[in-house]
Chains A and B, each alone.
Chain A
Amino acid sequence: MKKHLGLLLIFSLWLILCTALWAQQQTRPQEPITPLPQSIKLDKAKVDLGRMLFHDKRFSKDNTVSCASCHIISKGGVDNRAKSLGVKNRIGEVNAPTVYNADYNIAQFWDGRANALEDQVDGPTHKPIEMDSSWPEIVGKLKKDPKYVRLFKEIYNEPINPTNIKNAIATYERSLITPNSRFDRYLLGDKNALTPDELKGYQLFKSYGCIACHQGINIGGNMFQTFGVFGNYFEDRGNVTQADYGRYNVTGRKQDRFVFKVPSLRNVAITAPYFHDGSAKTLTDAVNIMAKYQLGRTLPKKDVELIVKFLQTLTGKHKELKP
């Protein structure tokens, strides 16, 4: 009987605690942006193996390009080029998106042709202008390295195969999250984390409607949007390429023409240049283009500056990230 009473007591205490927490959650102002978790539980061995593979140039045909060649981990997961250089300095079709927080995206690539991070690995490795390789080639190269053979045997208990490789790399990419940005600290209750200007920028970000697409945990990335809702961006820019058709290349449906994945704005300050074509060199440019073509309005210069200030608070922290 006593034992039951004790259990009842513990249960009721737990209930009270939950209620209290729920109440606190309710009292906190609801924001369309949520902070990143401090860490995620992952197999450390797989993460380490994935890191090795991510930096391995044997993934490319002539052993010159690794994943990290374009997604430089220390520099925000991008190479800061408008279009990346593949094997034999072949120029890529689109701007390299960051690998940081990539798992929170609705899909991978600008056109969202890969659903999961695992599937994404197939893309660059096989694309002739990127790595120009194939799985048999990559597996063959990796199998010659006794270190990899041993590690794969230890971790996956099976020989090296594309599934294992993709899983290891994806696991590593899942570990690439950048919590503790100043804005996240603000969201978590640190009211002094942002300056008044930055806070004002956030308010403008919301009121101008940027938040309509750039919302959620990754401040974007969870949806697709047509580039050029108001006005034809591509006509204005000119020189339309196949890549500019975006999601149309994947689905083949007319309504998906010029539709791209909304990119995440986390670490946006260090991932210039912007857009799938890398046409915006600075954040100000990017904000202006977005306002014009997506929001259908022109923003005062002052407001743009404030929004840019806000965007600069979104740079998070990761032990490999050295901006």
Chain B
Amino acid sequence: MKWRYAIIMLAIALIIVLYFFANSFVGQDRYAAAEQILRLYKSDALALNQNILRTRFGFLLHYDPLRSGLRNMSILQDKLSQFVKDYKAPGIGLKDTLGEKLNIKKRLVVAFMRNNSILRNSVIYLPVAVSILTTENVAHSNLLNTLLLNVLLYTNSANEALAVKINNLVEQIPKAITYADTDTKDKLLLTNMLKHTKTILTYHPRLNTLTRQVLQVNLTDVIDSLSSLYSSERDKYIARANIYRILLFIFSLLLISIIIYMIICLRKSLRIETETNTKLNSEIDARKKAEEEVKHQNVTLETEVKNRTQTIIDTNEKLVNEITKHKKTSDFLRKAQEESKKNQHAKNVFIANLIHKITTSINTIIKNCKNNTIADDAVVNINKILDTVTDYANLEADTLNLEKTSFDFHELMTSCANKYQKLAQAKQLTFKLHLPEDCPQKLIGDHKRLNKVLENLLDNAVKYTEKGQIEVTVTYKIADPDQVILRFEIKDTGIGLNEEKRVHLLNLDDNDGDENNEDVNLNIIYCREIIKLMGGNLDIVIKDDVPGTIFCFSVGMQQGSKT
């Protein structure tokens, strides 16, 4: 904004200065030119007057100075008229007067030249004519010489008395001097001489008058008054121009100060700019440095990252290698396991088949040894054991299938209770069976194996209980109209189990070898697996305050038709 104002002010000041500058010269030159014209005019007018006199008295041999003087003055007069017309200058009246006077003077000069020539011719000729006449005829010389003398005197004076005298002589001479008729030449000469004398008498005063008239036509006073008029006009213009010059000076100072102010402003702004520039540059430098540092750090980071990734990649590779190694080993192991499993399975299948063949052969033996009681019990036992082994083998080989036959649950439990009643009595133990009356009687399922589980568990109870009682409690729950969940609790007062033993028993594996309790372990595993197949779970409950162990398990059975 500041700049715009400064420029506008500068432009205005410049226009004003130019205006003043232009006006500080107006009018002077033109009046100077006019004064020059008038100066020349005046000098020409004075020169003309001088030349008239010089011509009159024979100092000038030709009229060229007069002619050129007149022409120059005419030209100057035209220039003056043009000047007055062009600039509407004052002094038109004076100019016209000057023009009229010039025309009069011109006319007079022209007349002067004409008369002067005639007079001059006569004045030149008269002495020649007189000398010719006097040399040819000496008798007339006195009279003629007197005439010549008087004429010459007259031409150099304005004495009118001489004119009268000459006139008298001119009248006398033709009478006094006579020539013979034959002497025409001399006669003519005399006549001519007298003519010229008369001419002199006529033209001499005329020329004097003309000369006076020419000199009296005073151009210079008109020129002077015009000059003074124009010089005063010029002074007016100079005064005016001086005012403009003073204004020009003042405004020039103003202009210069504006320019200086602008320059200072410019420099200041430039300085500020440079300062800001340097600041900016330093900032930029700092930023660049920071950026470079960041870059450098980035590079180091990158290298670090690279290194690390390299190490990671290396470790990864190592890991991958290891994993592959592990995989290989695990594959190997799995294969080995599978192989062993296959082997196990084949073994189990083989055992199952073997047992089946043994059973068939023992059954044949049993048929043959009928009616032998000792053998009978042993056969029953062997049968049982073989069944168990078959089942076990089948379990191992995953080929055991539960039977689905309908049976009387109450009958099963009663027969089982009867059997262990006897065994318990033999060891002087009490045996109790708690079977709810409303428990469903007809069920569908594998009663043989259920019986076997119960017998196994009861065998164990009887075996490890020295004193006290064995209690079997059955509870049931009907989940579905068809499904009955039966829960069995076999409680003894035996030696009991600690927690470690309990966990050990519940997680028994096929491979766990325990020489002392081989068959117990096998029994328990067998029970657990069968219960699992039947949809239940074997558990052992130990109570610190009560001696003995409680084996409890539940199995799902299909409810047979009630009818």
The chain A residues found within 8 Å of chain B, CB to CB, are 30-34, 104, 106, 115, 207-209, 211-213, 215-217, 222-226, 229-230, 251, 255, 259, 294-298
The closest CB in chain A to the CB of B61 belongs to: A32
- A53 smallest CB distance to B (angstroms): 23
Within residues 66 to 87 of chain B, which ones have a CB less than 8 A from any CB in chain A? 66-67, 70-71, 74
Taking CB atoms, residues of chain A closer than 8 Å to B66 are 222
Taking CB atoms, residues of chain A closer than 8 Å to B120 are 209, 212
A217:B192 contact, CB within 8 angstroms: no
Taking CB atoms, residues of chain A closer than 8 Å to B121 are 209, 212, 229, 294-296
B196:A296 contact, CB within 8 angstroms: yes
* Interface 9-mer from B107-115, B332-340, B477-485: B107-115
Contacts A30-B61, A213-B117, A223-B110; is A296 near B70 (CB within 8 Å)? no
A222:B117 contact, CB within 8 angstroms: no
In the bound complex, CA of A251 to CA of B195 (Å): 28
A207:B124 contact, CB within 8 angstroms: yes
Q: Taking the complex as formed, is B318 at the interface, i.e. its CB lies under 8 A from any CB of chain A?
A: no
Contacts A106-B67, A295-B121, A296-B125; is A223 near B199 (CB within 8 Å)? no
Instruction: Give chain B's interface residue range (CB within 8 Å of chain A).
Output: 20 to 34
Q: Taking the complex as formed, is B181 at the interface, i.e. its CB lies under 8 A from any CB of chain A?
A: no
The closest CB in chain B to the CB of A222 belongs to: B67
- A114 smallest CB distance to B (angstroms): 12
Taking CB atoms, residues of chain B closer than 8 Å to A230 are 192, 195, 199
A215:B61 contact, CB within 8 angstroms: yes
In the bound complex, CA of A306 to CA of B333 (Å): 170
In the bound complex, CA of A224 to CA of B112 (Å): 10
B74:A115 contact, CB within 8 angstroms: yes
B117:A223 contact, CB within 8 angstroms: yes
A34:B188 contact, CB within 8 angstroms: no
In the bound complex, CA of A189 to CA of B433 (Å): 193
Interface centre among B120, B121, B125 (most CB of A within 10 A): B121
Q: Taking the complex as formed, is B63 at the interface, i.e. its CB lies under 8 A from any CB of chain A?
A: yes
B64:A34 contact, CB within 8 angstroms: yes
Q: Taking the complex as formed, is B158 at the interface, i.e. its CB lies under 8 A from any CB of chain A?
A: no
Contacts A209-B125, A297-B125, A297-B192; is A216 near B74 (CB within 8 Å)? no
The closest CB in chain B to the CB of A218 belongs to: B64
Within residues 178 to 205 of chain B, which ones have a CB less than 8 A from any CB in chain A? 188-189, 192, 195-196, 199
Taking CB atoms, residues of chain B closer than 8 Å to A212 are 117-118, 120-121, 124
Q: Taking the complex as formed, is B357 at the interface, i.e. its CB lies under 8 A from any CB of chain A?
A: no
A222:B64 contact, CB within 8 angstroms: yes
In the bound complex, CA of A229 to CA of B117 (Å): 11
B64:A255 contact, CB within 8 angstroms: no
A215:B63 contact, CB within 8 angstroms: yes
A216:B192 contact, CB within 8 angstroms: no
- Give 17 new A-B contacts, CB below 8 A, not counting A212-B124, A229-B199, A296-B125: A106-B67, A106-B70, A207-B128, A212-B121, A213-B117, A215-B61, A215-B63, A215-B64, A216-B64, A222-B113, A226-B114, A229-B118, A230-B199, A259-B114, A296-B121, A296-B196, A297-B189
A224:B61 contact, CB within 8 angstroms: no
A296:B195 contact, CB within 8 angstroms: yes
Within residues 37 to 96 of chain B, which ones have a CB less than 8 A from any CB in chain A? 61-64, 66-67, 70-71, 74
Taking CB atoms, residues of chain B closer than 8 Å to A229 are 118, 121, 199
Taking CB atoms, residues of chain A closer than 8 Å to B195 are 230, 296
Taking CB atoms, residues of chain B closer than 8 Å to A224 are 110, 113-114
Taking CB atoms, residues of chain B closer than 8 Å to A215 are 61-64
Taking CB atoms, residues of chain B closer than 8 Å to A208 are 125
The closest CB in chain A to the CB of B189 belongs to: A297
The closest CB in chain A to the CB of B196 belongs to: A296
Give B119-146 as 1s and 0s: 1 = Cβ < 8 Å from A's Cβ atoms. Answer: 0111011001100000000000000000
In the bound complex, CA of A230 to CA of B188 (Å): 13
Taking CB atoms, residues of chain B closer than 8 Å to A209 are 120-121, 124-125
- A197 smallest CB distance to B (angstroms): 21
Taking CB atoms, residues of chain A closer than 8 Å to B199 are 229-230, 296
| In-complex Cβ contact of B61 among A31, A213, A225 (8 A) | A31
Can you give 22 contacting A-B residue pairs, CB < 8 Å? A34-B64, A104-B64, A106-B70, A106-B110, A212-B120, A212-B121, A212-B124, A213-B117, A215-B63, A216-B62, A216-B63, A222-B63, A222-B67, A222-B113, A223-B63, A223-B67, A223-B114, A223-B117, A230-B192, A259-B114, A296-B125, A296-B192
